[in-house]
Amino acid sequence: QICLSLVKLLFYLAHSPLGSIVLLDFQPRQFVMVDGNLKVTDMDDASTEELSCKEDNDCTLDFPMKSFPLKCSVVGKCEGINEKKNLFNAYRYFFTYLLPHSAPPPLRPFLSDILNATGDLRYGINETLKAFEKVLHLYKSGLYLQKRPLLLKDYISLKGFRTVEGEDYKCWPSYSHLGCLLSVHGAEEAAAICNSQSQCQSFTVTQQRTWTGRPLALFQSSLTGLITDANAVVYIKRSASLGERL
């Protein structure tokens, strides 16, 4: 969410009515999340000036560990230098820390491609935004889910009940510090996740939703604290002893 919101912001800055805007003091502390959108807190160090040049050799974009040769345009400006500077700083300060493990395994190669392409400045901001939107579409639609045997048949469904969230086994990246609360596309994906965790004996797809509209599923090692809820369903592994659990 943070990276996509940042890319949308940089897309606006690259195509602003004032021209391409560069953030000269590009640091994480310069940004804040407001209602799920990343915003710049200080525009004092923003500039629309692009580096003047006479030849391509005048257009090297230098960073501490990397340099990029750019083209000198016919009007004597280094082509896209503001956009590329913003994008590489996004890669340095945000993408490298947030992207590698922030998606289900089938989507990680797509994020790795974005990471590599922005790290080498092979992508401009237009291509980067398009790549992020593709990943978001796959994530929200569930199209990333690989065809596999249906696993929900290995579970008993207990309709009209839900479990109370309490301290239980931990998993990553959980939405709760008390236990294992993960985003899923639906009950079938939740069953696959539960099967992959040795501690998991049951799960509930909750009414909570993430910013993408996906539900959160609570995975638990026991069925303590069952309460009635007409809209809920608890899924219990058939291999678990139902008598003992209830």
134-143 pLDDT, tens digit each: 999 999 999 9
CA dihedral for 156, 162, 166, 171, sign (positive or negative)? positive
* Residue 154 annotated as catalytic: no
What three-state secondary structure class fits 194? helix
* Closest CA relative to residue 217, chosen from 204, 229, 226, 230: 204
Beta strand residue intervals within 131-244, DSSP E: 155-163, 180-183, 202-209, 215-220, 226-237
The per-residue pLDDT for 246 is: 47
Residue 240 has what pLDDT?
Answer: 65
* pLDDT tens, position by position, 80-96: 999 999 999 999 999 99
**Active-site pick, 25, 45, 58, 120:** 25
Predicted model pTM: 0.85
List the domains of the chain with CATH numbers.
Answer: 1-144 (1.10.510), 152-243 (3.50.4.10)
